[in-house]
Amino acid sequence: MPASIIPFSERQSPESISGLLSDQRIKNAFAFIETSAARFTAEHIRICEIPAPPFKEQERARYFASRFAELGLSDLHTDSEGNVIGFFRGQTEDPLLVLSAHLDTVFPEGTNVMVNREGSRLCAPGIADDTAGLGALIGLIQTLNAAQIRTRGTIAFVATVGEEGEGDLRGVRHLFSEGRLAGRVASFISFDGPGVDFITHQALGSRRYRVKLFGPGGHSWGDFGVVNPVHALGRAIAKISDYRAPVDPRTTYNIGRIEGGESVNVIPDSASMDVDLRSASENELSKLEEFMLAAINRAVIDENATRASSGRKLKAEIKIIGNRPSGEVPRDAVIVRTAIEASRALGINPILNRASTDSNIPISLGIPAVTIGVGGISGDSHRLSEWYDPAGREQGYKRALLLALAIVGIN
């Protein structure tokens, strides 16, 4: 079902930002944030150094379960998908706000995740995406505790699995479909990465494919003339990379991984590629998808025709490995307006944007959701040279706190 036909629902009216700013407990909370840089950075390093490769987030998840317990969250549990959930109970459960960050990184098992310091920079794979968000979850619980803040509604702190790549949002999908929180969440905020510039209220849809071509294989000299899956893959890639993607609505494609072959003098018996297609428009996404499928089909036909004398044909196997829904929370929705107001109160001029994040799922279900950065600066995301600098992190934590408290209310 297209996301756009699911009605968007809101049931709360927020606490005023100016009211919060004049509250002594918020002032205490801000003071705690301002004086806790060393503590937050130490936590940040600790989290980053626990590896969390795709589909293998368990060790980091166990760490979060123990931290949530130490910090006094209640009803702790790790659900069957691997998400770690703990509650900061308010007077009532309504509204129930989820604050989340993702446990997984894009880096495979065995990647060195030890943090190196270069001046004020912390360098390690995953140090910003999403160690920044995970650190903020811990930092905010510590802040709520230190300032002795009690809330009206309840906050569920959730460390999700499977946000990146082939994880395909499996953690947050489970949370909203089968998990104990399904049907109970009033609002959702994902802390993803550093910075304070963006408020993501629109979900970028994407589709991802793994394409595999199979042939008989053979000897490069002795069997020359037989269909070659790598050659066919090359033909397909050349065709796809000629696609003229529109700038508006922004539409992109990427062949991010290719594989195949054993040796220079062996005709390979298989070859594969992973393709990522994205668009702000469902319609453009479908057009691009059709073009890609036709390009693969054409490439196979051409290779088969060129090597027809061998009497052998290539087989193609095309599998969807990712399908993220699109959708958007209206600009005038409470969660978006409050996020803007909280930003401006701290001198931040936010930009509203569209991205593919854990919020895609609640947004596609009509549940108010945004994804925000939690301060600090970073670079080289998804690369081994990824770095993070905590400069300006206090602003991110303060904004996150203000936004969360505006939504659940204080007691």
- Judged by CB under 5 A, which stretch of 73-81, 121-129, 251-259, 274-282 contacts Zn ion? 121-129
User: Shortest distance, CB of residue 338 to Zn ion, whole angstroms?
Assistant: 23
Count of residues for the chain? 411
- Judged by CB under 5 A, which stretch of 1-9, 64-72, 122-130, 175-183 contacts Zn ion? 122-130
User: Applying CB under 5 A, what is the total number of residues that bind Zn ion?
Assistant: 3
Full DSSP string of 220-270: TTTTTTS--HHHHHHHHHHHHTT----TTTTEEEEEEEEEE-S-TTEE-SE
Rounded-to-integer distance, Cα 151 and Cα 370, Å: 20
Helices (H), 241-372: 282-306, 334-345, 360-364
User: Shortest distance, CB of residue 365 to Zn ion, whole angstroms?
Assistant: 20
Q: Which is nearer to Zn ion, 192 or 389 (CB)?
A: 192
Q: Identify the residue whose tokens are 């479908």.
A: 286
- Judged by CB under 5 A, which stretch of 126-134, 177-185, 329-337, 384-392 contacts Zn ion? 126-134
Rounded to whole angstroms, what are the CA distances from 64 to 263, 335, 388?
44, 27, 21
Q: Which is nearer to Zn ion, 123 or 408 (CB)?
A: 123
User: Shortest distance, CB of residue 408 to Zn ion, whole angstroms?
Assistant: 24
Q: Are 59 and 50 in contact (CB under 8 A)?
A: yes
Q: Which is nearer to Zn ion, 231 or 393 (CB)?
A: 393
**Interface with Zn ion (CB under 5 A), residue from 129, 276, 303, 386:** 129
Residues 179-198 that bind Zn ion (CB under 5 A): 192
Amino acid at 319: K
User: Shortest distance, CB of residue 200 to Zn ion, whole angstroms?
Assistant: 11
Rounded-to-integer distance, Cα 109 and Cα 189, Å: 29
Q: Which is nearer to Zn ion, 130 or 394 (CB)?
A: 130
Rounded-to-integer distance, Cα 86 and Cα 105, Å: 21
Q: Which is nearer to Zn ion, 162 or 368 (CB)?
A: 162
- Judged by CB under 5 A, which stretch of 45-53, 123-131, 143-151, 217-225 contacts Zn ion? 123-131
**Interface with Zn ion (CB under 5 A), residue from 130, 274, 284, 394:** 130
Give the closest residue to 339 by CA, choosing from 403, 392, 256, 284. Answer: 403
Q: Which is nearer to Zn ion, 104 or 394 (CB)?
A: 104
Rounded to whole angstroms, what are the CA distances from 390 to 114, 173, 216, 256, 398?
17, 31, 54, 30, 14
How many other CB atoms are there within 10 angstroms of residue 101's CB atom? 29
- Judged by CB under 5 A, which stretch of 40-48, 108-116, 124-132, 385-393 contacts Zn ion? 124-132
Query: Applying CB under 5 A, does 274 fall inside the site for Zn ion?
Result: no
Report residue 367 as tokens.
Answer: 């549940």
Q: Which is nearer to Zn ion, 44 or 235 (CB)?
A: 44
Rounded-to-integer distance, Cα 283 and Cα 329, Å: 19
Give the closest residue to 130 by CA, choosing from 184, 155, 93, 167. Answer: 167
Report residue 269 as tokens.
Answer: 């018996």
Q: Which is nearer to Zn ion, 151 or 360 (CB)?
A: 360
Q: Which is nearer to Zn ion, 228 or 381 (CB)?
A: 381
User: Shortest distance, CB of residue 382 to Zn ion, whole angstroms?
Assistant: 9
Q: Which is nearer to Zn ion, 192 or 284 (CB)?
A: 192
- Judged by CB under 5 A, which stretch of 128-136, 259-267, 321-329, 389-397 contacts Zn ion? 128-136
Q: Are 143 and 151 in contact (CB under 8 A)?
A: no
Q: Which residues pair with 101 in a beta bridge?
A: 159
- The site for Zn ion (CB under 5 A) is made up of 129-130, 192
